[in-house]
Structure 1
């Protein structure tokens, strides 16, 4: 799923493949490139390593943003139940921070609070801080859209419900066709992103710092 310069979300590609396979993801991305898609400014995804390795190969210019919903779930599940509510709140302090400086401070606070006892859980955050905070270099109005893969997840919830009812599509090709038609139908109901006028600025290389546009200095006439 991508975002057009007018702010509308659009289905870009759908393919059968192995989730963790770099080659499966690379084939999908190469197909997008063959059909004329330029390198995206930012790609939002979960921890599927195949996607990120394929991006490095096909669209090396693209920035990476990890999904906070998936990351929170993975970190919390690596902690004992008694610590999960506090950890979840601490993670919210990171991704809801007003700017990158406050987010980075919240990461350090999370490390101090949980790193000594549960270093593996904390490393899931500290080892990927740049990818988790990439959205701060984009318009603040877009942060709510860039922090998670929920738009895709919610669409596939509907798809899964329908495919369960059919009890199997008969063949992989038929299943893929069914998923495509269901997703294509859902696309008409996808909500455009907030402040769509800023998408064109992002696409044209405008610089944003902590969500705000950085005005370029006027060039003096010689």
Structure 2
């Protein structure tokens, strides 16, 4: 192996690690039987969009984890590597508030908005939302509401019966390849990685994908789906890069 070949492999490995770390935790969507997960980075991006246009408190940091991993039920579908168990989730958020609203009311408003967005836009089961006020804003303050950039989407061309079936489901923006191939096949099991359309609830899309892939693949295997991104605009498509 030449020095150039070794350098290219090292760069590829580094890029893969960065991509994996950029996803954050792999959070359960729905319940133990749903076979659905979403990257923390994708979920946080959607929640920021949902609450970012509202007047009043500003969401700063947001972390999501399983509320109690020790009591979380076991998944009924083989999960992606390092995925969290499908138990109820806990959000920890920090916020900046104005002086025009009592702090408890501001925190309650942000908590309610996060819970609503998590359920209606994604399908996350959230038991707890801990909101802390870490900044006070004056009326002439214009804080940044955008948050960190979204994780990079690595589109993939649909291949094989499973890939074509998944890509054809309404609400799928593109297949992705953050953890490797977009379609990973083991004995009697298929894992699909994809990005969903922002105009559709992520859990509903995943359920439809699982049903479509199970019917399309010989032997009707079990199917798990990992959502690595949610497009910002309804109907938006991510062009494949090959």
Normalised TM-score (structure 2): 0.23
Query: Which structure: greater helix fraction?
Result: 1
Query: Which structure: greater strand fraction?
Result: 2
Higher relative contact order (CA 8 A, sep 6+): 1
